[in-house]
Amino acid sequence: MTSHEQTAGTAAGPPAAQARDVSKRYGATVALHSAGIAVQAGETHALVGRNGAGKSTLVSILTGLQRPDSGEIRFDGVPAPSLADRDAWRQRVACVYQKSTIIPTLTVAENLFLNRQAGRGVIDWRGLRRRAADLLAGYGVDVDPAALAGALTVEQRQLVEIARALSFGARFIVLDEPTAQLDAAAIDRLFDRMRELQSTGVTFLFISHHLQEVYEVCQRVTVLRDARHILTEPVDALSRDELVTAMTGETGRALAAGGTRPPVPATAPVVLDVRGLRLAGHYEGVDLTVRAGELVGLIGSGSSGKVALAETIAGLRRADAGTVTIAGNAPKPGRVPAALAAGLGYLPQDRHREGLVPLLSVAENATMPIAGRLGPAGIIAPARQQATAERMIRRYDIKTDGPHQPVSDLSGGNAQKVVLARALANDPKALVLVSPTAGVDVRSKASLLSAVDEAAAGGAGVLVVSDELDDLRSCERVLVMFHGRVIRDVPRGWTDADLVSAVEGMEQP
C-alpha cells in the first residue's frame, strides 16, 4: 500500500487551486483566520483537522459557495470567477459532499445531466441515456443510466457524482469524507479509481478522519487547527504521531493502544451468548460469547452481515433461527425493550438516523432509556433528569452549554458521546457498539474509546462492531465475519495487515 511514486509537481506551474490569507467569520465565531492552502496540479492533497477546525468552511470557499471576508482564491494562477457565475466555478472545481447531491427520484442519466438535459428544446431521452452510458463507461463506472438514483449504493452514488463533476470539465475535485460510509473493499476500489484519475491529471483534495487513508492515497497533507493553517508537508516526511500532534496541538498520547487491562478470567460469567443464529441473506451459523469485563471486536466488510448481527442482538431484527442470551436471560426475539430489560446497552450505527432526536435536549436524549426511573408513575422529574444528565456530561466529557442544549447543536464527536452515555445509562451488563467512532475527530475518538474501556473495566461485556482498526486495538480478541459467517477469532497482538486480509477473506498463511 505504499504507492507514493507520484511526486507532486511542485516546480511545474502555479497550484491547481490556492487559497491565500483567507478569513471568514460567522457572527462571533472565527471559522478561518488567514488560513491558506495550495494544491499542486496532479497531486492528491489531504486536508485534515478536528471537527470545527475550519475544513468545511475552507471547502465551501474553495468551491464558491461562500465568499471569504478577506483573502483570495486562485485556480491555475488565475483569480476565481465571481460567486454568481456557477458555470465558471463548475468548470474549475467540483465537490463530492458527504451529503448526497443526487436526486433519488430521478434516473442516473437525468442526475448526470441535471439542468442541462437539453437546451431550450425537447429532451431526447434515448440520446440522454446514451450520453450518460458513454460518460459512465468513459470512467469505467458500471451503473445502469436508466436506474433510479435512489436505488444506488453509497459507493455507486459517489462514483456517479465524481463522473458528473468531471463531465463539467473540472480537473480539481474535492472529496469530503468520501470513505465515511464505505466498507473496506469499497474504499480500496475508490482509492484505485482516484489513482487512475490522478494519472490522467486530475487533482484531488481529500478530506478524511482516517489518518491511515491519508498515508495511503495522498502525497501532501495540510493540517488546520482552530481556524488556522498549521502545516503543509509531504506525507512521507510526516510521522503519524507528528500528524496527530499537529491536529490536536498536544504531544504524545496519540491513540493509546489499550492492552494494559488484565486478562479476563475464564471463570467470568458469560454476559452475551449467541448460539446458531441465522438470518437469511445476512448471516448464518453465528456463535459467539462475551464474558463480563471482556472487550470483543467484530470486523467485516459491509456485506459481511456484522451490522445485521448487531441489530439482531439489540432486537431490531428477528433472527430466523438461533438464540441470543443476555446475562442469562433470553429476551423475546425482535423486541428492543426486551433486550434492554435483559441488560443490553446498544449504540446504533447511524447516530443521525437511529441514535438521537436532534431537536430534543442533551438531557432528554441521554436519559431516554432510563426515563422510567426518574420519577414515579411515568413522571419525569426535571430535577432528577437534569442531575443525571449533568453527571453524564461530566463523566463522558461532553462539550455542551448544558443539559438543555439541543443535541443538533453539538459537534459530531460530542453527539456521539451522548449516544454512548445513553447506551451506558442503565448500567448494561452487555454492550453492543456499532461503529462507535464513525465521523468523529481524533480527540473525541480517544475519549469515546476510553469510556468504552471503562465500561468493560466496570464489568460489562462489550462487543465492538467496527471497520475502524483503532476501535479494535484494545479488544481481547477480534472476530472476523465474512459473507455471513464468523471465520476467524484473532487474539490481541494482530497486525493491521493481518486483520485487513482476514476481512477481505484471504486465507491465513
Partner 1 sequence: MTGTETIAKPPRTGGTRPGGGRLPLARLRDFALVPAILLLVVVGALIDPVFLSAANITNVLQQQTELALLVLAEAIILIAGKFDLSLESTIGLAPALAVALVIPAASNGLGTELPAGLAIGLCLLTGLAIGAFNGLLILRFKLSAFIVTLGMLIVLRGLQIGITGGQNLFDIPPSVLYLGSAVWLGVPASIWISGSLFVLGIVALGYFRHGRSVYAIGGNTDAARAAGIRTDRVVWVVLMIGGLLAALAGLLMTGRLGSVAAAQGDGMIFTVFAAAVIGGISLDGGKGTLFGALCGVVVLGLINNILTLAGVSAQWIQAIYGAIILVALILARLTSGKAQD
CB atoms within 10 A of CB 126: 8
For partner 1, the closer CB: 140 or 249: 140
Angle at 478 between CA 446 and CA 271, to 5 degrees: 90
Q: What is the per-residue binding string for partner 1 in 87-126, x denoting contact by CB under 8 A? A: x--x--------xxxxxxxxx-xx---xxxxxxxxxx-xx
CB of 443 to partner 1, least distance (A): 30
Closest distance of CB 298 from partner 1, Å = 32
Nearer CB in complex with partner 1: 138/337: 138
Are 290 and 335 in contact by the 8 Å Cβ rule? The answer is no
Written as nine digits, the cell of 38 is 495550495
In the complex, minimum distance from the CB of residue 112 to partner 1, in angstroms, rounded to a whole number: 10
Q: How far is the CB of 62 from partner 1 (least distance, A)?
A: 15
Amino acid identity at 226: D
Collapsing DSSP states into helix, strand and coil, what is residue 198? helix
By CB under 8 A, residue 328 contacts partner 1: no
Give the residue, chosen from 31, 62, 166, 235, that forms a contact with partner 1 under the rule CB under 8 A.
166
CB of 196 to partner 1, least distance (A): 13
- Strand ordering across the sheet containing 477-482: 344-347, 430-434, 461-465, 295-300, 477-482, 485-491
- Please report whether residue 42 would count as binding partner 1 according to CB under 8 A: no
Pick one of 41, 59, 133, 279: the residue that binds partner 1 (CB under 8 A): 133
- Give the residue with the Cβ less far from partner 1, 352 or 395: 352
Backbone Cα Rg of the chain: 24
Cβ closest to partner 1, residue 117 vs residue 198: 117
For residues 468 and 436, give the distance between their C-alpha atoms in angstroms, rounded to a whole number.
9
Can residue 66 be called a binding residue for partner 1 (CB under 8 A)? Answer: no
Q: How far is the CB of 126 from partner 1 (least distance, A)?
A: 6
Under rule CB under 8 A, how many of the chain's residues touch partner 1? Answer: 45
Question: Contact, 181 vs 155, CB < 8 A?
Answer: no
- Shortest CB 475 distance to partner 1, Å: 39
Please state, in angstroms and as integers, the Cα–Cα distance from residue 30 to each residue in 27, 104, 105, 227, 245, following that order: 8, 36, 38, 7, 22
> Smallest distance from the beta carbon of 202 to partner 1, in angstroms?
11
Alpha carbon distance 40, 48 (integer Å): 17
Out of 55, 129, 225, 291, which residue is the one contacting partner 1 (CB under 8 A)? 129
Please say whether the beta carbons of 277 and 315 come within 8 A. Answer: no
* Residue carrying the nine cell digits 465521523: 439
CB-nearer residue toward partner 1: 120 or 394? 120
Tell the residue number behind the cell numbers 487533482, with chain if given.
Answer: 203
| E strand or H helix at 382 | helix 382-395
Least gap, CB of 102 to partner 1 (angstroms): 6
Asked if 367 contacts 385 with a C-beta cutoff of 8 angstroms, the reply is yes
- CB nearer to partner 1: pick between 202 and 472: 202
180 near partner 1 (CB under 8 A):
no
The answer to whether 241 contacts partner 1 (rule: CB under 8 A) is: no
Separation of alpha carbons 304 and 472, rounded Å: 17
Binding to partner 1 by residue 334, rule CB under 8 A?
no
Q: C-alpha cell of 2?
A: 505504499
Part in contact with partner 1 (CB under 8 A); list of ranges 162-170, 210-218, 305-313, 385-393: 162-170
Rule CB under 8 A: is residue 139 a binding residue for partner 1?
A: yes
Name the residues that contact partner 1, by CB under 8 A.
Answer: 86-87, 90, 99-107, 109-110, 114-123, 125-126, 129-135, 137-139, 142, 144-148, 166-167, 169
